[in-house]
Structure 1
Amino acid sequence: MNRLNAESEPSSRQTAVLTVRQMTEADRLSVAAGVSSFELMGNAGAAVAREIGCRWTPRPLLVLCGPGNNGGDGFVVAHLLAEAGWPVRVAMLGSRFSLQAEARQHAQRWVGEVEALSPSVLEGAELVVDALFGAGLSRPLEGQALDTLAAAGRGCVPIVAIDTPSGVMGDTGEALGAVKAVLTVTFFRKKPGHLLLPGRDLCGEVIVADIGTPTSVLDALAPLAFENHPALWLADLPRVHADSNKHSRGHALVFGGYPMTGAARMAARGAARAGAGLTSIAVPEIALPVYAATLNSIMVHPWVTPEDFGHLLNGSRFSAWLVGPGAGVNKDTFGHVLAMLATARPTVIDADAITVFQDDPAALDRAIQGPCVLTPDDGEFRRIFDPAGDKLSRTRAAALRCSAVVVLKGSDTVIAAPDGRAIINNNAPSALATAGSGAVLGGIILGLLAQGMSAFTAAAAGVWLHGAAAAECGPGLLAEDLPDLLPIVFRRLYSSVEACQVRDSVLRNR
C-alpha cells in the first residue's frame, strides 16, 4: 500500500498538548537555556497586547490582575496598550507589592492607579482582560474575583483571557466559576482545558503565542497528549497507487443486526468510502432481503447457524471487523464479539457490542487479543468502565485496562492508547448529534484498519475525517450523508499535501 509522503513532523510537534505541570517545567527549562523569566513574561504580555490590537480599536480597557504570574502578564498588557494610546485602568486582587520576582518588576512599570478588585470597577469598561489566575488555579473562584467576572459576564463586556479564563482548570477543562471569554491567548502549547468541554467553549478563540520558549524544551517534556490534526496520521493514511487493486486495499466485514438494519448499512458504507477495497456485511438469513435490496457495492453474506458465522471469520479473506451497530444486546452478540476477538484480527467494537458486556466487563478485557478499537459514547462507557475523573484521564485508564484503543465519543472526543498516548479531537460540529453518526464513525475506522493502519492512527484519522465530513454538510446533516461527504474531505487533504510538496520542492531548488 502506497502511503502519503508528507513532511508532517513540524506540524505534529505543534499539536502537542501540555499539562499545567509540564508548562511550569517548560518555563524552568527555558530559563535554564538562557531565556529569563522576566523576558518570558514580557513576551507573554506583549503577545496578548498584540492580539488585542489586531481585533479592537482603542477603547476603555480594564485589566484585572491576580496575585501571581498571570497578574504580571496583565501588568505588561496594561503598560503596552497605555503606551499605544489606549485608555487603560488596572484593578487587582491583592497588592502589587506582594507580587514576586518578575511579576513585581513588570508591575512596577505601571505608573497609573491600581484599583481594588470589585464589580464596581467595570463601570465604563468596554473590554476586559482577565489576568487573575489562568490555568494554575486549582480551586473554585470565590469572593471578589468571582463577583467581578460574573458581573462582566452579565454585562456582556467582551473578555480576553490570559492563558485560560480564570476558573477553567487547565488539565481537565472543568469550569469552577469561569465566565466565557471571546479570546484566550495562551503560550507555547495548548493545555487539555483548551480542548475539553466545557473549558473549550469558555475560551472562545484560542491563540497560541510564541514567547521565546526554545523548541528543544518540547523534546525534554516528551508529551503524550495531542490535538487531533492530519499531521499526526497523514503519513500513514492509505492512498491508492497505480498498481492498487480491490484486494490490496483490504476487505472489511461488518456484522449486520436484525431488525435494526440501518446502522450496520451506514457503517458498511462508511468503511467503503474510507477506502476499503471490499466491504461485506454478515447478516442473519432472515435479514438478507433487507440488506440485499438496499446495498449495491456492499456484499451481503447470510448465515443461518453460529457455525456459518464461524466459517466466515475463519476464512482468510477479511482484513478487519466491526460489530455493534444495531446488533442487539443479547447472548448472540456477546458470542459474536468473542468470536471476532479470538481471531486477533483488527476489530472495532461499538454500541450494543459494548453494552453486552455490562455484567462482565472483565470478559471483554480477557478476550482482546489483537488490534482493537472501542468506540463508546458516555452511556456505553459508564456501563463497562470507571466513569470517575476527567474525560482525558478516564479514557486513558480504560485503554490501559482493556489493552485496546478507546474512543470516548462526544463534541470533545478523546482517543487513548494503552501506552498513555492520547489525542483530543476539536473539529466535530454540533450537527453530528444525530442518530447513526456513531455507526458511520465505526465504519470509517474499520475501513482504515482494513487497509493496514494501526488501531491508534486509524481511530484518530477516523474521528477527524468524520468531523470534517460533517462540517461539509452543516445543519440538517443526516448520518447517511456522511459517507458520501468523505471523498470531498479526502480530495482536500491530498490536494493540500501536493501543494505543500510543490512549495517545498520550489524552496529547495532556489
Structure 2
Amino acid sequence: MTAADRAAIAAGTPGEMLMERAGQGVVEAILARFEVQPVTVLCGPGNNGGDGYVVARLLSERGWPVEVRALAEPATDDARTMRGRWSGPVKPLSGPVGEGLVVDALFGAGLARPLDGLAAAAVTALTNRAEQVIAVDIPSGLPGDTGAPLGVAVCAGLTVTFHARKPAHVLEPGRSLCGEIVVVDIGLGETPTRLVENGPEAWAARFPWPETHSHKHARGRLIVVSGDAWSTGAARLASRGGLRIGAGLVTILSTEEALASNAAHLEAVMLKPFATELELEQAADHADAAIIGPAAGVSETTLLNVLALARTGAALVIDADAITVFRDDPEELFSVLDRDDVLTPHPGEFERLFPGVLKAAPERITAARRAAERAGSVVLLKGPDTVIAAPDGRAAVNLNGSPWLATAGSGDVLAGFIGGLVSQGMDSFDAACAGAWIHAEAAALHGPGLISEDLPGLAPRILRRLYAER
C-alpha cells in the first residue's frame, strides 16, 4: 500500500487528492447505511487522521451534526492541509463520546506499537458500540500486516479501506474486529501482488468444465484410499466430493476386510481391493489424482501407502492421518512430494509437519508460504481464514469461511473436492482455492443443521451458478 501511494504521487496525483478521495469513500459508505444523526470523528496525528478531517467536513456539508476530537495536532503535510479545511472546532480526545456514530480515524494500517494513554482510553470506551463505529482503513490498534491486535483495539461494525484489503482485514482475529468491509478505489491503479482474495475471479477462467466431446476418462480418474473396515466413511465422503465436483471416474481402493462395508454404500463410486503397498501402487498407476489420509490410520501401513502413491504419476492430496504419520520425520514426506501435490492440514497437523513455523511466523500467510516452500507442494492451512500457498510464493486467503463446517467429516469432503478438480487437470493451487471456496459456499447455502454428508449434494448448485457466470 505504501508503494502504491508513492507510485501514484510520483506519477502526479497529489497526496491530498488521494486523501480527499479516501474521505469521500468513507462518507459514501456512511450515507448508504445510516440516517442523519450525530457523528463524532476521532482523528489521530497521521494521514489516517487526515482522512478523518475530510470525513468530518463532507458530512457537515451534508447537514450532519459533527464533532471532531483530536489526539494531537496533525504531523503530516496532507493531514495539516485537511485540518485547515475543517472549519469547525476541534476538541481534545479526552472525555466521554456522545451518542450517535463514531468515526475511528486515530491510526491506520501502519501501526507498529500498542495504543496507550488517551488513545487506549478512547478505544476502550467504544467497547460494546461496534455497530455505531466506522473504522477508516482499519480499526485502530490493529496492525495491517498481521491481524493480531497489539493491545486494545477498536471493534467496528463497518471498516472502509482503500485500494485493496490488507492481511488484517482477512486474518483472524482482525477480520472479526472489522465488521463489514468496504474497499474504495482511490485511483492508485494496478499493483503487483502474489497474495489474492480467494474467489472465482482468481480461478474461474481455468475451471475444468467438460466439453462436447468429453468422456468419463477424459474428465479425470480419481482414487481414494479407504481406512479399515470400521473406518470407511471418510473415504466415501471424499469420493462423493470428488465425483460431485466433476471427476469422471472415482474409485475407492480398499483392503479385503473393508470391501463389504464400502460396497454396501457405493453406487457410482467404484471399488477395488488391494492388500500391499505394491498392489496399491499398481492399482493407482493410471490415476490422475489420489487422496490418502481420511481415516487411514496413523500406522506404518499408511506411511508405506503414501510412499507407494508417490511413485505413481498421480497428483496427491494428503490429509489427516497421512499427514500425522510423518510427524517424526517430515522430510521423508517432503522428499517425495512435488508442486502438483496438496497438503491439507488443520493447525494441529500443520504443527506436526512444520514444528514451530506457525508460532514463529507473524501471521498465517507467511507460515503457509514457508511451509509450501519447505514441502515443495501446495499447502492449505485450514481455519476460519483458510490460507492456500504454493511453493512459488502464490498465496490466497479464503473469505467465505463458514462456522457450519465445524462438523466431523467436512475436511474429507474438501479433500474430495480438491482431488476431483486436480484429477480434471486443474492446477493444484487453483484446485485447492476453488475447492475451499466451493466447500464454504455449499456450507453457507445449507446453514444450520449441516452434516458432512450434505456437502457433496450441495456442490452442483454452486457449480451451476459458476457455469452460468462463466
TM-score (norm 2): 0.96
For the residue of structure 2 that corresponds to 1:309, the secondary structure is helix
Q: For the Cα contact (< 8 Å) 1:125–1:157, is it kept in 2?
A: no
| Correspondence for 2:249 among 269, 274, 278 | 278
For the residue of structure 1 that corresponds to 2:433, the secondary structure is helix
Q: For the Cα contact (< 8 Å) 1:228–1:426, is it kept in 2?
A: yes
Aligned position for 2:177: 202
Aligned position for 2:239: 268
Aligned position for 1:327: 296
1:316-395 matched pairs, under 5 angstroms: 316=286, 318-369=287-338, 371-385=340-354, 386-387=357-358, 388-389=360-361, 390-395=363-368
Task: Give me the whole-angstrom Cα distance separating, in 1, the residues matched to 2:313 and 2:106.
Answer: 53
Q: Give yes or no for the alignment of 1:257 onto 2:257.
A: no
Could you report, residue by residue, the CA deviation over 1:298-353 in whole angstroms, capped at 9, with x for unpaired residues?
Answer: 1111122333223213x32x111010000010101111111111224211000000
Task: Give me the whole-angstrom Cα distance separating, in 1, the residues matched to 2:56 and 2:262.
Answer: 66
Q: Give yes or no for the alignment of 1:59 onto 2:37.
A: yes
For the residue of structure 1 that corresponds to 2:102, the secondary structure is strand
Task: Give me the whole-angstrom Cα distance separating, in 2, the residues matched to 1:489 and 1:154.
Answer: 37
Structure 1 residue 434: deviation in Å? 0.7
Structure 2 CA distance for partners of 1:332 and 1:402, relative to 1, 3 Å: same
Task: Give me the whole-angstrom Cα distance separating, in 2, the residues matched to 1:100 and 1:465.
Answer: 45
1:172-211 matched pairs, under 5 angstroms: 172-176=146-150, 177-211=152-186
Task: Give me the whole-angstrom Cα distance separating, in 2, the residues matched to 1:154 and 1:456.
Answer: 40
Could you report, residue by residue, the CA deviation over 1:256-296 in whole angstroms, capped at 9, with x for unpaired residues?
Answer: 01121111110000000010100001111101000000111
| Correspondence for 1:287 among 249, 255, 258 | 258
Aligned position for 1:112: 88
Could you report, residue by residue, the CA deviation over 1:108-131 in whole angstroms, capped at 9, with x for unpaired residues?
Answer: 11122211112x240x23100000
Task: Give me the whole-angstrom Cα distance separating, in 2, the residues matched to 1:231 and 1:444.
Answer: 18
Gaps of 5+ in 2: none
Task: Give me the whole-angstrom Cα distance separating, in 2, the residues matched to 1:69 and 1:132.
Answer: 9
For the residue of structure 2 that corresponds to 1:264, the secondary structure is helix
Task: Give me the whole-angstrom Cα distance separating, in 2, the residues matched to 1:25 and 1:90.
Answer: 30
Letter in 1 for 2:14: S
Aligned position for 1:5: none
Q: For the Cα contact (< 8 Å) 2:280–2:309, is it kept in 1?
A: no
Task: Give me the whole-angstrom Cα distance separating, in 1, the residues matched to 2:112 and 2:338.
Answer: 40
Q: For the Cα contact (< 8 Å) 1:137–1:167, is it kept in 2?
A: yes
Structure 2 CA distance for partners of 1:245 and 1:344, relative to 1, 3 Å: closer
Structure 2 CA distance for partners of 1:370 and 1:162, relative to 1, 3 Å: closer
Could you report, residue by residue, the CA deviation over 1:74-113 in whole angstroms, capped at 9, with x for unpaired residues?
Answer: 00111111111111111111124xx221110100111222
Aligned position for 1:32: 10
Task: Give me the whole-angstrom Cα distance separating, in 2, the residues matched to 1:305 and 1:29.
Answer: 60
Structure 1 residue 157: deviation in Å? 6.3
Task: Give me the whole-angstrom Cα distance separating, in 2, the residues matched to 1:423 and 1:490.
Answer: 20
Task: Give me the whole-angstrom Cα distance separating, in 1, the residues matched to 2:425 and 2:103.
Answer: 49
Q: For the Cα contact (< 8 Å) 2:339–2:391, is it kept in 1?
A: no
| Correspondence for 2:398 among 421, 425, 435 | 425
Letter in 2 for 1:279: V
Structure 1 residue 489: deviation in Å? 0.5
Structure 2 CA distance for partners of 1:403 and 1:38, relative to 1, 3 Å: same
| Correspondence for 1:162 among 127, 131, 136 | 136
More helix by share: 1
Gaps of 5+ in 1: 1-22, 498-510
Task: Give me the whole-angstrom Cα distance separating, in 1, the residues matched to 2:12 and 2:338.
Answer: 49
Aligned position for 2:372: 399
Aligned position for 1:444: 417
Letter in 1 for 2:333: L
For the residue of structure 1 that corresponds to 2:264, the secondary structure is helix
TM-score (norm 1): 0.89
CA RMSD of aligned residues (A): 1.2
Q: For the Cα contact (< 8 Å) 1:180–1:202, is it kept in 2?
A: yes
Identity percentage of aligned residues = 50
Aligned position for 2:114: 140
Could you report, residue by residue, the CA deviation over 1:171-198 in whole angstroms, capped at 9, with x for unpaired residues?
Answer: 1111232121111111111111111111
Q: For the Cα contact (< 8 Å) 1:37–1:102, is it kept in 2?
A: yes
Task: Give me the whole-angstrom Cα distance separating, in 2, the residues matched to 1:253 and 1:156.
Answer: 49
Deviates more, 1:473-482 or 1:106-115: 106-115
Structure 1 residue 137: deviation in Å? 0.5
For the residue of structure 2 that corresponds to 1:367, the secondary structure is coil
Q: For the Cα contact (< 8 Å) 2:26–2:160, is it kept in 1?
A: yes
Q: Which runs of 4+ in 1 moved over 3 A?
A: 154-157
Task: Give me the whole-angstrom Cα distance separating, in 2, the residues matched to 1:157 and 1:273.
Answer: 40
Aligned position for 2:389: 416
Letter in 2 for 1:138: A
Q: For the Cα contact (< 8 Å) 2:288–2:313, is it kept in 1?
A: no
Q: Give yes or no for the alignment of 1:78 onto 2:51.
A: no
Letter in 2 for 1:284: T
Aligned position for 2:435: 462
Structure 1 residue 155: deviation in Å? 4.9
Structure 1 residue 156: deviation in Å? 5.6
Task: Give me the whole-angstrom Cα distance separating, in 2, the residues matched to 1:157 and 1:457.
Answer: 36
Letter in 1 for 2:432: A
Letter in 1 for 2:461: I
Aligned position for 1:43: 21
**Alignment length (residue pairs):** 464
Letter in 1 for 2:379: V
Q: Give yes or no for the alignment of 1:150 onto 2:124.
A: yes
Task: Give me the whole-angstrom Cα distance separating, in 2, the residues matched to 1:28 and 1:282.
Answer: 57
Letter in 2 for 1:55: R
Task: Give me the whole-angstrom Cα distance separating, in 1, the residues matched to 2:217 and 2:335.
Answer: 32
Task: Give me the whole-angstrom Cα distance separating, in 1, the residues matched to 2:130 and 2:162.
Answer: 26
Structure 1 residue 450: deviation in Å? 0.6
Structure 2 CA distance for partners of 1:112 and 1:266, relative to 1, 3 Å: same
Q: For the Cα contact (< 8 Å) 1:342–1:368, is it kept in 2?
A: no
| Correspondence for 2:278 among 302, 307, 314 | 307
Letter in 2 for 1:240: P
1:207-226 matched pairs, under 5 angstroms: 207-213=182-188, 215=189, 218=190, 221-226=191-196
Aligned position for 1:490: 463
